[in-house]
Amino acid sequence: MTAVEHSHEFDVVVVGASIAGCTAAKLYAQSGLRVALVDRRSDIDDYKRMCTHFIQPSATPVVERLGLAPLIEEAGGVRNSLDTWTRWGWIRVPEPEDGGSNPYGYSIRRQTLDPMPAHRVSS
């Protein structure tokens, strides 16, 4: 019997099981919604293999909420920040006045990152 033959009701259907889709599905599920995560490929290990991923510092709270930060760091993900060069010079995140640490994101290969949220959604 295929998935089409089953009769299920879902609150949300997320199409695309890469980083964004798995993240959205996990967050919806954590909110108590019934989620269907649909992808054209059925193999959970079928992901991009050759590119890298730059997770901007603004995404770190979501990464932490999903429980992925320790997994990313254990897998060799490197903390990054966002400095930008313009014709007027560098634009950099200022040092925090309270002595805390600067916000950071992660740099990690897609081959390593992409399976993480998919495996976390299924758990």
The pLDDT of residue 1: 41
- Residue 67's CATH number: 3.50.50.60
Domains: count for the chain:
1
Q: Say if CB 111 and CB 49 are below 8 A apart.
A: yes
The whole domain housing 73 covers 3-122
Q: Say if CB 62 and CB 120 are below 8 A apart.
A: no
If you average pLDDT over residues 81-90, what whole number do you get? 87
Dump the DSSP string for 63-101.
HHHTT-HHHHHHTTPEEE---EEETTEEE-PPPPTTS-P
pLDDT for 46-82, tens place per residue? 655 545 578 888 888 888 888 889 999 999 999 988 7
